[in-house]
Amino acid sequence: MLLSGRLRGALWWCVRAIFTVAVVTVTILLVRAFDARRSPDLKPWHTASLESEATSQVLEAASFDEYLEIEARVFAEYLAEVEGEVASADRTRLNRFFADSDASPQRFEQNWNRTFEWWPEQTDPDNIVGGALLVHGLTDSPYSVRHIGRILRDAGYYVLAIRMPGHGTAPVALTRSSWQDWLAAVRIGAAHVRGQIGQGAPLVLGGYSNGGALVTKYALDALEDPTLVRADRILLFSPMIGLTAFAQFSSWNKLLSGIDYFEKFRWLTLEPEFDPFKYNSFPKEAGHQSFLLTQVLQGQIRRMARHGVLDLPPVLSFQSLVDSTVLTRAIVDDFYSHLSPGDDELVLFDVNRRADMAEFLRRPHRSFVDGLEARALPFSLTVITNGGADDGTVVERRKAARMTAMTTTPLELAWPKNFYSLSHIALMFPPNDGLYGANPTAAVPIGAIQARGERGVLRVSMGNLMRARHNPFFDYMAERIRAAIAEPAQ
């Protein structure tokens, strides 16, 4: 009887705990849902019914030419349903969805929101060096990989930068896209590149952010599926191997956002759309799909590593130590640490450790780097960091796989004034980028925006405006890429 009473008591407390958690969760959701109603009004780019975008079921049987035909229909629908429905009050100089605005993609030499392919300028198409498939990030567009594409094209590579489904048009399109749709497009792109370059030439897969997760997933699938073409080298830039634990709750909005009264609750941010090649508004469903992708990817890495079949081609990754979008530690713990010792390398861009910057940093971020430098890792490690505490000069600290001794080489580089770190979105753009660079030439010079005023006034977060937009060490990264692709394929 005593034991039965204790069991009943324990069961009662469990029921109370579950009920309390449920009540607290529902309360938080309701509070945030009502708070979301105070967000800016939804516009056609948040509500349009863009239905032409193909799903993975359609893309599994599609060729590259058919993919381009689908993309053409997608953009035709976008012009009618979004640009064609912009209200007079929204026809402003900084609205990318107004065709005559300074932020319109149509003001550029080409619309970089769309898929593009490049052949080497000075190379006979029948005798090219190799081919590369480049995949952009979430809410992004092929614009973000074009500088990497030029490096590869100038080295004699055929380059395909493929637009992922849901991207390049309006942010509402991401409310209907899944990671399976994106992966299906990657498969189409890889097959097309191999068809263009033939069987003997090396194939490079390059991915930025969410695109990094996608090309990694594709490369793993190709190890297990003989029908998929295999890559000879992988280039990753801020790869989305892991996201914060809070990302798993990004889909909880569905409990309420299906109700029209709470439709704004579907959105994590609703901001002015002044960037011609990247969405500023972010639907929660897009974050949820990225989280699902990272979970599937991490599970596949662990499974293949346990069975000894994680034999990827050489991987070269570039990552900022501080990154508010992806987990830097996950790149090491959930990916690189599982690779077989070989020719893989991680290049880590440290924070600016100049003495007068230190007191402004929330934490030193040094323990993670020290731990990597002290361990014998199964991959090569390069850290781009300060040469000393008194100035902003930069050195390269590097060690080979399975070694602990770091060699230091001075670089003819320095931290620019007022830079305390790189950022997730800065890595892909050189200082001379016309949109995000230090001295941009675009009509909307996003890289040079320096807003000054009082807090709580702007609709765009100050953190977004202050975020580093270009990589002052891009030339170093470019040299490392050239050196990597010049090595014989393994």
* pLDDT per residue as tens digits for the range 453-473: 887 788 777 777 788 999 999
pLDDT above 90 as % of the chain: 68
Tell me how far apart the alpha carbons of residues 225 and 212 are, in angstroms, rounded to a whole number.
20
State the DSSP code for 397.
E
**From CA 146, how far away is CA 452, in angstroms rounded?**
32
Provide the sign of the torsion angle of the four alpha carbons 429, 171, 317, 363, taken in this order.
positive
Higher pLDDT, 9 or 437: 437
Fold classification of 40-313 (topology level): Rossmann fold (3.40.50)
Q: By percentage, how much of the chain surpasses pLDDT 70?
A: 88
pLDDT tens-digit readout, 46-62: 999 889 998 999 999 99
Report the pLDDT value the prediction gives residue 458, as an integer from 0 to 100.
81
Q: Can you give the pLDDT at residue 70?
A: 97
Q: Please report, for the chain, the start and end positions of each structural domain, with discontinuous segments joined by +.
A: 40-313
The pLDDT mean for the chain works out to 88
Question: CA 354 to CA 414: how far, in whole Å?
Answer: 11
Over residues 300-322, the mean pLDDT reads 94
Helix (H, G, I), strand (E, B) or coil at 48: coil
The 10 Å Cβ neighbour count of residue 162 is: 28
Rounded Cα–Cα distance for residues 311 and 344 (Å): 11
Task: Please indicate whether residue 328 or residue 263 has the higher confidence score (pLDDT).
Answer: 328
Residue 26: is its pLDDT beyond 90? no
Average pLDDT over residues 289-300: 96
User: Cα–Cα distance between 67 and 429 in angstroms, integer?
Assistant: 28
The angle subtended at Cα 466 by Cα 465 and Cα 472, nearest 5°, is 120
Residue 371, classed as helix, strand or coil, is helix
Average the pLDDT over each of 101-105, 294-298, 304-308 and give the range with the smallest value.
Answer: 304-308
| pLDDT score for 2 | 47
